C-alpha cells in the first residue's frame, strides 16, 4: 500500500518546534495540570497504578462522554488516542474497495489521505466562500451514487471556522438516509464557538452516524491524546476490535484527567476560558486584516482557533509560508495543504503576545513583497 503524504501534518511535524512563532496550531493555548486540576485531584493521580486500564476507555470516561450525546450510554463510546486515531479507525473499519466516500472540502485532509491510500474512491463536495462557507446541497446530491458508503463532514470546519446551518445539517442527514449511507462527522471543534452557543451534533439526525471528537482543540488539551468515537453499539464494538491492531488502549492517567475535565462544571469553565482567548485574538487579527485590506480578505470564523485568509499577492501559498518561516521564523499554513492556493490559515488560539509578534513580522514580509 502506498500512503499519500499528509502535507499539513508533515510540514507541521518538521517545522513547528523549530520556529520562534508557530501560528499553525488550530487549537487553543494548552493548559498545565496545575491550571486545570485542584490540589486533591493532582494528588489522586499519584496513587493510580500505571497499568493498561480498560482498552476501550475507562467506564467513568465513557459514561461522561455519553452524557454529551443524548440517547447513548457507555457502550456507544470508544476512547482513542486522539481524534486522529478515531478518524483512522472510522475509515479503516467501515470502507471496502468497492465503496465510495464523499468528502467535504476544504477540510483536515487525514480522512482524504487514508481513504485514497486504501484505494477508496473519494469524491469532494465543497464549502463555497460566496455562500459564507456553506455547501451547495445540489452539488452533494449529484455526487451520491449506489456506491456511496460514507459522507464525511467536519463541523465546525477546519480550516474556515464555519458552522453548518441546522437546516443544512438536516438536508445532509436526509440525503444520507435516502442513500443508506453513513455520516462520519468530525466534531473536534464543537465547543469552541465564539458566540458561546454549542454547535448541534449530527448524532441523532440519522441512524447511521459516527462522531469523531476529542480534547485537543476546543478543550486545549492535545497532550492528553484523548479522542473518542460515538456510534451504534455494534459499530463501536467492531471498531474496538480494529483498535486492537492500532494503539490497543489510551493512557490510564489521561483517562482519569479527561473524566474530570468533562464533568459539566469543569467542562464549561474550560470552554469559556478557551472561547475568551479565541475572541480576543480574533479581534486582533480582524483589526490587522483591516489595515491590510489591499492584501487580505476573510470571513471571520464562527468556531475554532483558526482563520482562513484569502490574499491577492502574486506568490504561491507554499512559497509565501516558506519565505515567512525561513526569513522571519513565523510559521503559518499554506492553502496548498487544503488544495486551495492563494489562501493561508493562521492560528488564533495561541498566547496574545505570540500572535502580535508573528503578525508584526508578517508585516515586514508584506512590505518587502510590495
- pLDDT tens-digit map of 122-172: 999 999 999 999 999 999 999 999 999 999 999 999 999 999 999 999 999
For residue 183, the number of C-alpha atoms closer than 13 Å in the C-beta half-sphere is 28
CA distances from 184 to 203, 261, 299 (A): 10, 25, 26
Q: What is the CATH number of domain 49-266?
A: 3.40.640.10
Q: What is the pLDDT of residue 370?
A: 80
CB atoms within 10 A of CB 323: 15
CB atoms within 10 A of CB 228: 29
For residues 116 and 152, what is the distance between their CA atoms, to the nearest angstrom?
A: 14
Going from N- to C-terminal start, the domains of the chain cover: 7-32+273-369, 49-266
Q: What is the pLDDT of residue 276?
A: 98
Q: In degrees rounded to 5, what are phi and psi of residue 345?
A: -110, 125
If pLDDT is split at 50, 70 and 90, which confidence band does 111 have?
Answer: very high
Q: What is the pLDDT of residue 181?
A: 98
Write the class of the CATH domain 7-32+273-369. Answer: alpha beta
Helical residues (DSSP H) of the chain, grouped into ranges: 7-15, 33-36, 39-45, 59-66, 82-94, 110-117, 137-143, 166-179, 233-243, 252-261, 264-291, 317-328, 352-369
For residues 308 and 20, what is the distance between their CA atoms, to the nearest angstrom?
A: 21
Q: What is the pLDDT of residues 230-262, one digit of tens each?
A: 999 999 999 999 999 999 999 999 999 999 999
Q: What is the pTM of this model?
A: 0.97
Q: What is the pLDDT of residue 5?
A: 92
Q: What is the pLDDT of residues 280-300, one digit of tens each?
A: 999 999 999 999 999 999 999
Strands of 226-230's sheet, edge to edge? 77-81, 226-230, 209-214, 182-186, 148-154, 100-105, 121-128, 134-135
Amino acid at each position: 500500500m502506498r500512503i499519500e503524504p499528509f502535507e499539513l501534518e508533515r510540514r507541521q511535524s518538521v517545522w513547528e518546534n523549530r520556529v520562534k512563532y508557530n501560528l499553525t496550531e488550530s487549537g487553543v493555548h494548552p493548559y498545565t495540570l496545575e491550571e486545570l486540576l485542584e490540589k486533591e485531584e493532582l494528588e489522586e493521580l499519584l496513587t493510580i497504578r500505571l497499568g493498561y486500564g480498560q482498552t476501550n476507555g475507562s467506564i467513568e470516561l465513557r459514561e461522561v462522554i455519553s452524557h454529551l450525546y443524548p440517547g447513548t450510554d457507555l457502550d456507544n463510546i470508544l476512547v482513542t488516542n486522539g481524534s486522529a486515531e478515531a478518524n483512522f479507525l472510522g475509515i479503516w473499519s467501515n470502507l471496502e474497495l468497492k465503496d465510495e466516500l464523499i468528502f467535504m472540502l476544504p477540510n483536515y485532509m487525514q480522512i482524504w489521505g487514508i481513504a485514497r491510500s486504501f484505494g477508496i474512491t473519494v469524491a469532494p463536495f465543497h464549502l463555497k466562500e460566496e455562500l459564507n462557507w456553506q455547501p451547495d446541497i445540489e452539488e452533494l446530491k449529484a455526487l451520491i451514487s449506489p456506491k456511496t458508503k460514507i459522507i464525511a463532514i467536519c463541523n465546525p470546519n477546519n480550516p474556515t471556522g464555519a458552522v453548518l446551518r441546522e437546516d443544512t445539517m438536516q438536508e445532509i442527514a436526509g440525503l444520507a438516509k435516502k442513500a443508506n449511507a453513513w455520516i462520519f462527522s468530525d466534531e473536534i471543534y464543537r465547543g469552541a464557538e465564539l458566540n458561546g452557543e454549542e454547535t448541534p451534533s449530527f448524532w441523532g439526525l440519522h441512524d447511521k452516524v459516527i462522531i469523531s471528537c476529542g480534547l485537543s482543540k476546543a478543550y486545549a488539551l492535545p497532550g492528553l491524546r484523548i479522542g473518542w468515537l460515538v456510534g451504534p453499539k455494534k459499530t463501536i464494538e467492531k471498531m474496538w476490535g480494529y483498535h486492537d491492531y492500532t494503539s490497543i488502549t489510551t493512557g490510564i492517567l489521561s483517562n482519569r484527567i479527561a473524566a474530570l475535565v468533562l464533568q459539566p462544571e469543569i467542562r464549561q469553565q474550560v470552554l469559556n476560558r478557551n472561547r475568551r482567548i479565541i475572541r480576543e485574538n480574533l479581534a486582533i487579527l480582524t483589526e490587522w486584516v483591516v489595515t491590510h485590506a489591499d492584501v487580505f480578505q476573510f470571513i471571520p470564523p464562527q468556531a475554532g482557533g483558526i482563520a482562513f485568509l484569502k490574499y491577492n499577492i502574486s506568490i504561491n501559498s507554499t512559497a509565501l509560508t516558506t519565505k515567512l518561516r525561513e526569513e522571519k521564523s513565523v510559521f503559518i499554513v499554506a492553502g496548498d495543504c487544503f488544495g486551495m492556493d492563494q489562501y493561508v490559515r493562521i492560528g488564533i488560539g495561541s498566547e496574545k503576545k505570540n500572535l502580535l509578534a508573528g503578525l508584526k513580522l508578517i508585516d515586514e514580509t508584506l512590505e518587502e513583497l510590495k
